[in-house]
Amino acid sequence: MGKFIPLSIPNFEGNEEKYVVDAIASTFVSTVGGYVTQMEKKMAEFLNVPNVAVCQSGTSALHLSLVEAEVKPGDVVIVPPLTFIAAVNPVKYQFATPVFIDCDDSFCMDPVKLRLFCEEECEWDGEKLNYKGAPVKALVVVHVFGNMADMESIMETAEKYNIKVVEDATEALGTKYTEGKYKDKYAGTIGDFGCYSFNGNKIITTGGGGAVTSNKPEVVDHLRFLSTQAKTDPHYYIHDEIGYNYRMTNLQAALGVAQMEELPEFIKRKQKNYDLYEKLFSGFEYGKLMPFREGTASNKWFYSLCIDRNYIKATMRDIIIALRERGMETRPIWGLINEQKPYEGEVTYKLEKAPYYASRILNIPSTTQITEEEIKYVVDEVKALLRSLANE
């Protein structure tokens, strides 16, 4: 294989250049412009929701959601340990306290352990749940790698205990339920808030950029208001609340509008490529391609190979370096957030599967431009490397 196979890179096959040039020609390149409005409309239509606000990043969407959920200093927010740290950092922006709940085999929050934590470790006073005297105000559930969390169970617990649910759908644009209570509902449209990311490695990109929605359209209007510095009077610069410089720019939105036109095709490719990987890895003795939740149609953003540590003792770093030398980009799943320096000493609850998968998951090339020939090459080289390591 002559060329290097990347992990996940942007795909600009449509009207990206045309729309960006048009935005530049209009001179509306900052946070005001027609493409910003178009991007919000296209997102709302795709997700089948009445209102979406676009912003600077998935992180800003998460932060705005916690602000709107009235998370205050000292409040408790339930979070996952096995995800990108940006899902949890906004909790610290609000000077709140994270509590880390284990994942299940989807890498998403374990609904059973969530319920047990609320029942066994907390106290219900009839209006709110308290953990060691502090109110449990919200929970952040991440749809990891485009895999839908068990939202039926999570929402049941959250509604019982009056906990606001922030869905981190930054990796899951286009993932939806195909059966059950939430049939045809997309990731990010079930909880109180839904957050999306258009970072460069996501299924669509605006360079940076994100979006936020809510189950109440008027809440989205307020989130949009907060994202533009909470200006109450546009002429006299009157501000009645603390606002943020979190609005998406028209240049970013121009790119995003073009990418939204291509999103259905990108999802089809992701699903087709995953199916080929699954077929080629079937029966492999030293690794298993992880499945996506039954009863859902996933955007299959990232593909995860679970390595058998009974035989493969090499570090993930050594494996990744060896595969790079063979012409492909791979990466480990994230380091556990509760083990990162800013989160040392924070409360964890029954962490078992999160550390298990943290040491075993290898993400393999999942870009929408990858060819069948390249997929076959990746599988052959990964198998050859792991077999050689198993025999050392």
- Quick: pLDDT tens for 343-373: 999 999 999 999 999 999 999 999 999 999 9
**Domain's final residue, options 206, 230, 259:** 259
In a domain, 6, yes or no: no
Tell me, what's the pLDDT at 1? 65
Residue 5 lies in a domain: no
Residue 2 lies in a domain: no
Res 110: pLDDT: 98
Q: Write down the pLDDT at residue 200.
A: 95
- In this prediction, residue 252 carries a pLDDT of 98
246 and 268 in a single domain? The answer is no
314 and 245: one domain? no
Q: What is the pLDDT of residues 200-229, one digit of tens each?
A: 999 999 999 999 999 999 999 999 999 999
Stretch 163-182: mean pLDDT, rounded? 98
143 and 267, same domain (yes or no): no
Give the mean model confidence (pLDDT) for residues 175-187. 98
Asked whether residue 282 falls in the same domain as residue 385, the answer is yes
Q: Which of 198, 225, 259 is the last residue of a domain?
A: 259
232 shares its domain with 339? no
Tens digit of pLDDT for each residue in 115-135?
Answer: 999 999 999 999 999 999 999
Say yes or no to pLDDT of 234 above 80: no
Residue 10, in any domain of the structure: no
Q: Is 123 part of any domain? A: yes
pLDDT band at residue 256 under the 50/70/90 scheme: very high
pLDDT tops 80 at residue 136:
yes
Closest CA to 86 of 294, 337, 354, 306: 337
Let me know if residue 290 belongs to a domain: yes
Q: Looking at the predicted structure, is the pLDDT value of residue 78 above 90?
A: yes
**CATH number assigned to the domain comprising residue 306:** 3.90.1150.10
Q: Which of 259, 284, 314 is the last residue of a domain?
A: 259
Q: Which domain holds residue 129?
A: 16-259
Mean pLDDT, the chain, rounded, equals 97
- In this prediction, residue 392 has a pLDDT band, given cuts at 50, 70 and 90, of confident
Residues 285 and 249 both lie in one domain: no
Please give the tally of structural domains in the chain.
2
Longest dimension (CA), the chain: 73
Looking at the structure, do residues 277 and 253 belong to the same domain, yes or no? no
User: Of the candidates 224, 320, 240, 295, which has an alpha carbon nearest to the alpha carbon of residue 32?
Assistant: 224
**In this structure, are 235 and 95 located in the same domain?**
yes
302 and 235 share a domain?
no
Nearest to 134 by CA among 126, 145, 123: 123
Query: Is the pLDDT confidence value at 102 over 70?
Result: yes
Rounded distance between C-alpha atoms, residue 323 and residue 280, angstroms: 18
Mean of pLDDT values over 70-84: 98
pLDDT for position 71: 98
In a domain, 7, yes or no: no
On the question of pLDDT at 292 being above 90, the answer is yes
pTM: 0.97
Q: Are residues 218 and 84 in the same domain?
A: yes
Is residue 84 domain-shared with residue 154, that is, in the same domain? yes
Share of the chain above pLDDT 70, in %: 100
Task: Write the pLDDT tens digit of every residue in 58-74.
Answer: 999 999 999 999 999 99
Residues 255 and 356 in one domain: no
Residue 352 resides in a domain = yes
CATH of the domain at 152: 3.40.640.10
